[in-house]
Amino acid sequence: MNSLKPARLGIGIISAGKVGAVLGAALREAGHAIVGVHAVSEGSLTRAEALLPGVPVLQIPEIVERSEVVLLAVPDDALESLIAGIAATESVQQGQIFIHTSGRHGAGVLDPVRQKGAIGLAIHPAMTFTGLSLDLARLKNTGFAVTGPAAFLPIAQALVVEMGGEPVMVAEGDRPLYHAALAHASNHLVTIAGQAQQVLAAVGIENPARYLEPLLRASVDNSLASGENALTGPVARGDSQSVAVHLQELENFATEEGAKDISAAYLALAKATATRAHARGALTDEALQQVISALGE
């Protein structure tokens, strides 16, 4: 992959959110020149100052005019309108490279600037960002989904490698499903952990996050090492009475605390867990039916 190492490039960052500021800093560490950054909010301005010191804060047309590579690090839903706005200006240059970091979109969303002679590529890091310098170390060996025309993919691959990441090809049409998988794994894990902490706090555990930490870290490590064979607990054992008690207690808690999302999540995930455990032979037909009945299904 070292043969893909690109020449030093002038890169503009739109915008200095958690992802853009960190990737900009990583590209700068790799020797590229960050020619400008777009930052509006107080948080973005603070990140730009901390992670990209000395880089001028510019308006979007100025960044496009000055850059060989434009990195678009904006929320998924804002990307299309941003690209359309850029394409409507006279700032897009022949052969200029536009790279976005959206997980859901492939390279097709960049067609408006590609029609102006630009090159469009998509890279998405499979990592959650804090927007702090510690994220730079986390980029090492992080997978990046790379999508774009075959002739220009080496550019995206090389930039990913320079940031310490591992480029992984994802087809244009697979990007939405790919992104759904990551969101399901990461975002919903945060929701589940938050729900569990709320319940533990209600029963008097003073530091629920610290209490859960060894369990959650071991669960994640074991699941990544052994897949669903790492599953433990009452559903996997077919302990239907415990499942029924859990659901009843959580429904009571929901009534008292106004937290109906917790019992609903437990119900849906317990059913999914039972179904998957049965599919791989961990639960017998009878045990599956007992668990499903305990869930009121």
Q: What is the mean pLDDT of residues 282-293?
A: 96
Can you read off the two tokens belonging to residue 67? 């850059």
- Could you read off the pLDDT of 144-188 as tens digits, one per residue? 999 999 999 999 999 999 999 999 999 999 999 999 999 999 999
How large is the average pLDDT for residues 222-233?
Answer: 94
Q: Is the peptide bond before 15 cis (omega within 30 degrees of 0)?
A: yes
- Between CA 169 and CA 287 the distance in angstroms is 41
Strand partners, 71: 13, 99
Average the pLDDT over 18-47 and give the result: 96
Q: What is the pLDDT of residue 7?
A: 67
Residue with tokens 């317990």: 270
Query: In CATH, what number does 177-294 get?
Result: 1.10.1040
pLDDT of residue 257: 87
Q: What is the pLDDT of residue 14?
A: 98
Mean pLDDT of 105-127: 98
The residues spanned by each domain of the chain are 2-170, 177-294
Confidence of residue 258 (pLDDT cuts 50, 70, 90): confident
- Residue 288: how many CB atoms within 10 A of its CB? 19
Q: How confident is the model at residue 93 (pLDDT cuts 50, 70, 90)?
A: very high
Query: Is the per-residue pLDDT at 82 higher than 90?
Result: yes
Q: Give me the percent of the chain exceeding a pLDDT of 90.
A: 95
Structure tokens at 231: 């599953």
The pLDDT of 212-229, averaged and rounded, is 96
pLDDT at residue 297 in the model:
73
Q: Which tens digits make up the pLDDT trace of 231-256?
A: 999 999 999 999 999 999 999 999 98
List the one residue out of 120, 122, 112, 113 whose CA is nearest residue 175.
122
Architecture of the structural domain at 2-170 = 3-Layer(aba) Sandwich (3.40)
Asked whether the predicted pLDDT for residue 1 surpasses 60, the reply is no
3 pLDDT higher than 50: no
